[in-house]
A and B are shown apart, each in its own frame.
Chain A
């Protein structure tokens, strides 16, 4: 029972944010103690090429980034196709590649169920949010929630939501990055974390959104290309027949035929539904993902970008399924990848790395290692930019300066915020090296789904939303998510060490989301203030703009 819970948490964390510290199968890979590997020269050369290329892009982007609009949204001139790739690059973390293949390697079909849960939020983002986001938003999603509500209060709330999500996600990424780099490149943990921090600061402070976007695009192409190549090479060993591959996998896997069907991971209905909700609507509340919708020229391109991103992500998840299954046969039976106990060297999350070596030799292993590193950099750059804009655009320009900040100071604040966040991320990354951080990504998703998403969607769709309702409801959602995660099995039992959890479920979304929605509704309908009437009266204009795009931010001239 406890083992399955641990696995459940680990799988989520590993998949979403590369942070698994847990007993059971995932131990050893990116979580817990990792063994520093011998220096891998091919990997380092490949990675240096990537770094030089991205720094070149940052230099190019820096010369084009002059206004606040350039800095936050790359001037708003990104095409739907480019943005689709960048979203895919933002969403497919190194952990998707390592965690999902590792999960499929260990448990078979269960890995596939996770992939599906990670994808199905995207169509809903398109149908219910994409065009509204583009038409109402400017730099941050708080521009939308504060459109007709009280600027100071709502931006404070949204900035709190953004910064909590960014901080949790960033720490998880940093710790994961440090361990992964240690494992792949043979670099010391502290140096690895610092390297990630320095590059992240460089991309964001100098190149802003334009550099971040291109880093994400390049990384997405590398990941898609490498995944495809590996899948083709692996399938060629099975005559390109999925049935042959499955037959061999069932033969050699210790679970045999059970790998072809859902197993223990999602056997509890409440957890399964709650996980589905959290992933689906959490995605729709992640500030770094929402921000990507402000970079395209108009609502038409915003819609197109979701078609491309859903296509790329879905394709990648299918490839990942093939890679995981192939690894069972190719890697799981090859003694060079197994230790004395017959377990995978470096843990199950290394399955895809071993597969790379098996099908493409050391050169390709080096390339995949560089891809994994690039992936982390792209994700942390997006996070840092989202966090920095919450500080500079929401807190500094709107809350402190009441909208009277001049543009140059605002950008400067943003860069200082990036620098501060980078330093903080490195320090926390080093402090948390040995800590159990598996819950952090889950918590980030829970806060996104229970605080950011309800406020955002209700402010856009429900006329009756008032400042009081959004503010109280948003904070209640945030606190509920936080409380349920802390008193739940992942933190209460596994981190703090109590025997039994106060809240029995791993996944809070099924409970915390309705609480947030109810609270926003209740504190809105009981709000009889004059401000509330004015806010409701402004809904008509907001609705027209969200639907037609009239008055929406347009792309800057260059």
Chain B
């Protein structure tokens, strides 16, 4: 019974749509996070002086402080972005696929 349902879903074009859309979105967001983080790590390792640049003339804070904070905020924003789409659009598509089994 279950096996049969799985086979039918696998043949459903909507399922292909769901998985390809969702995985493209997930990989895109993962790539953004990886590029930003490892880009930052490389700057930390090779050109720390760039992060030491002062925020403005006469400032004590360096640009590294807001950049670091921005990476933390970005990490969180990416998660909200993913869930906003996954829990609405993708979830609806998912429900449709399961409905069509009946």
Contacts and interface: CB of A to CB of B under 8 A. Distances in A.
A367 interface: no
B64 A126 contact: no
B45 A303 contact: no
Interface string B56-88: 000111101100110111011011101100110
B64 A273 contact: no
B102 to A, nearest CB: 12
A544 B6 contact: yes
Contacts of B75: 119-120, 122-123, 310, 314
A547 B51 contact: no
Contacts of A262: 44, 48, 51-52, 64
A116 B87 contact: no
B44 A260 contact: no
B: contact size bracket: 35 or more
Contacts, number: 163
B2 A307 contact: no
A548 B26 contact: no
Given A109-B64, A307-B80, A548-B15, A269 B46 contact: yes
A413 interface: no
A317 B75 CA distance: 13
B86 A276 contact: no
Contacts of B97: 548
A300 B87 contact: yes
Nearest to A265: B44
B76 to A, nearest CB: 5
Given A120-B75, A300-B91, A540-B6, A113 B83 contact: no
A262 B64 CA distance: 8
Contact of A547 (B19, B27, B64): B19
Contacts of A268: 45
B4 to A, nearest CB: 10
B61 A246 contact: yes
A303 B76 contact: no
B79 A306 contact: yes
B18 to A, nearest CB: 7
B8 to A, nearest CB: 9
Contacts of B69: 318
Given A243-B59, A541-B3, A314 B72 contact: yes
Contact of A243 (B30, B42, B61): B61
A128 interface: yes
A138 to B, nearest CB: 15
B18 A547 contact: yes
A122 B65 CA distance: 21
Contacts of B64: 109, 112, 260-262
A549 interface: yes
A262 B5 CA distance: 55
Which of A116, A267, A311, A318 gathers most chain B CB within 10 Å?
A116
Contacts of B44: 113, 262, 266, 272
A123 B41 contact: no
Interface residues of A, number: 54
Contacts of A357: none
Interface string B1-43: 0110111011000010011001000110110011001101110
B61 A260 contact: yes
Contacts of B30: 123-124, 127-128
A311 B76 contact: yes
Contacts of A310: 75-76, 79
A123 B29 contact: yes
Given A109-B62, A243-B61, A550-B6, A126 B79 contact: yes
A548 B94 contact: yes
Given A261-B62, A314-B72, A549-B94, A127 B82 contact: yes
Nearest to A126: B79
Nearest to A250: B60
A123 B71 CA distance: 12
A85 to B, nearest CB: 15
A466 B54 CA distance: 54
Contacts of A410: none
A260 B52 contact: yes
Interface in A89-140: 109, 112-113, 115-117, 119-120, 122-124, 126-128, 131
A112 B87 contact: no
Nearest to B9: A544
A310 B83 CA distance: 12
A314 B33 CA distance: 14
Contacts of A113: 44, 68
A123 B60 contact: no
B61 A242 contact: yes
A247 B48 CA distance: 20
A304 interface: yes
Nearest to B72: A314
Which of B3, B18, B27, B79 gathers most chain A CB within 10 Å?
B79
Nearest to A120: B37
A153 interface: no
A545 interface: yes
A314 B97 CA distance: 36
Contact of B68 (A112, A263, A303): A112
Contacts of B10: 540, 543-544
B7 to A, nearest CB: 7
A116 B40 contact: yes
Given A260-B60, A540-B7, A545-B6, 7 more contacts: A126-B79, A276-B41, A310-B75, A311-B76, A311-B79, A544-B6, A550-B5
Interface of B: 2-3, 5-7, 9-10, 15, 18-19, 22, 26-27, 29-30, 33-34, 37-38, 40-42, 44-46, 48-49, 51-52, 59-62, 64-65, 68-69, 71-73, 75-76, 78-80, 82-83, 86-87, 91, 94, 97-98, 101
5 smallest beta-carbon distances between A and B, as pairs: A261-B52, A269-B45, A127-B26, A262-B48, A541-B6
